[in-house]
Structure 1
Amino acid sequence: MWELETEPARERPDLMADRVAAGLEGWEPAARVLAAPIDPDLADTGECAAHYGIPLGSSANCVVIAAKRAGRVRMAACMVLATTRADVNGVARRHLEARKASFAPQGDVVAATGMEYGGITPIGLPRDWPVLVDEAVLEAGPVVIGSGLRSSKLVLPGADLAALPGAETVSGLGVRTD
C-alpha cells in the first residue's frame, strides 16, 4: 500500500510503543492493523506523506488536548484528517462540555501516553481519555496514523477507530485548511 512496506502489526510489536502493542490486545479490529517502518526524520505528516506517496486525505493526526472545567483538567484525543485541523476551542470544547480547551503540553502528553511526540496515536491511550474521531476519518478508507514511535506508522480502516475504547464520533471536528 502506497510506498510503505506493511506487515500485520500484531506480528511486529517492535514497530509500536509498548502501550500501543498492549492496546491492540483484545481489540477486535486489531487483525486489520498493519505496521510499517519509516525514516524517523520523516515522521511528521507532511514529510511522511510526500516521501511515501500517501495522500494527505489518507493520513490522520492524533491531537491531544487539555479540556478545563471547574478547575479540573481532562485530557482527550482528537483524530482528524491531515487535510484539516482540529477545532479544539469550538467543536471539541463544546463536545467535552469544557470552559476552555487547548493543546496539551508536549511533556505531559509524552509522560501520560508512553509514546514519542510525533508518533502519538489513539490506540493504547489511557482508558479514561475520550477519543473524538471526526466523521471524515471514519469515511476515509484506509488511513495512516502514528504507532507511538517516530520510526513507524500504522495503517488501518479509518472506520475501525470508532471501535476504540472511549471513541466518540464527532461531526465537524476537522476543519478544512485550504
Structure 2
Amino acid sequence: MPAPMDAFDEVRPAADCLDLLTAPVAAAIRDWRGSVPVEQLLFVDTDPAIADTALLVERHGSWLLEQSANCVVVAGKRGGAVTLAACVILSHTRADVNGVVRRQLGARKASFAPMDTAVGESGMEYGGITPIGLPADWPLLLDAAVADMPYALIGSGSGSRRGKLIVPGKALAELPGAVVLDGLGTVPGQ
C-alpha cells in the first residue's frame, strides 16, 4: 500500500509551514521533543472544500482511507465534573464513546463534545482538529491501530480546514497525555 504522501503533489516538513497552522499546533511542532524527528511530521496543502475524509478519498483514491485517522473531541461527565478528551481512530471506524472512552475517563456518561466547546477549547477548526497541540490537561485516547501505522493522515488544526498532517503513528503515541487503547475504534455494523 502506498504511503499517504504519495497521494499529494507537494509534501513539506510541517516545521516549514508553521504560518499555515493554528497557534497551538505551530507551538507543538516548534517545541517538538518526541523520539520521532520533527522532520518526519509532514504537511500537505489541501483544498478546504475536500477536507472531509470521504471527499479527500474520492479525489485521491480509496486506498487513502486506510491511511487516514480522525480526531474527535468527547466529553466525559461524572457528577458535575466534565472531562474533555480527544480520541484518534482510523477514519473508517467510530469511537466507542459509550464503552472504551467512558470507562477510560471514569465517567458515568460520555458523548461527543458540542462543536462550540470542541472548537473553543482546542483553538482549532471543527472537522480539522488534530491531536498535536491540544490542551495539555486533556487525555488523548489513541486507538492501537493508529499507533501502529507507519504514517497517518490527520487534520492539521488549521483555522480554515486547509491542509493535512502526515505523522508516524509512533509520534502520536508519544504526545502528552496519550494512552494507546485496543478497541477504541470500532467498525460500524460489527
Please give the range of the TM-score, normalised by the shorter of the 2 chains.
over 0.9
Alignment of 1:64-143 (within 5 A): 64-143=73-152
Report if aligned partners of 1:60, 1:137 keep a CA contact under 8 Å in 2: yes
CA deviation map 1:22-45 (0-9, x unaligned): 111332333310001000010111
Which residue is equivalent to 1:13?
Answer: 18
Whether 2:26 is the aligned partner of 1:2: answer: no
Task: State the SS of the aligned residue for 1:77.
Answer: strand
CA deviation map 1:123-169 (0-9, x unaligned): 00000000000001012221100111211000011121111001000
Which residue is equivalent to 1:167?
Answer: 178
Task: State the SS of the aligned residue for 2:6.
Answer: coil
Whether 2:67 is the aligned partner of 1:58: answer: yes
Cα distance in 2 between the residues matched to 1:121 and 1:110: 11
CA deviation map 1:46-98 (0-9, x unaligned): 11122123521110000100000121000000000012110011111011110
Letter in 2 for 1:38: T
1:156 to 144, 152, 167: 167
User: TM-score, normalization: structure 1?
Assistant: 0.95
Letter in 2 for 1:16: L
1:44 to 35, 49, 52: 52
Task: State the SS of the aligned residue for 1:51.
Answer: helix
Task: State the SS of the aligned residue for 2:111.
Answer: strand
Greater share of strand: 1
Structure 1 moving runs of 4+ over 4 Å: none
Count of matched residue positions in the alignment of Structure 1 and Structure 2: 178
Report if aligned partners of 1:85, 1:177 keep a CA contact under 8 Å in 2: yes
Identity of aligned residues (%): 51
Which residue is equivalent to 2:188?
Answer: 177
User: TM-score, normalization: structure 2?
Assistant: 0.90
Task: State the SS of the aligned residue for 2:136.
Answer: coil
Letter in 2 for 1:145: I
Report if aligned partners of 1:42, 1:48 keep a CA contact under 8 Å in 2: yes
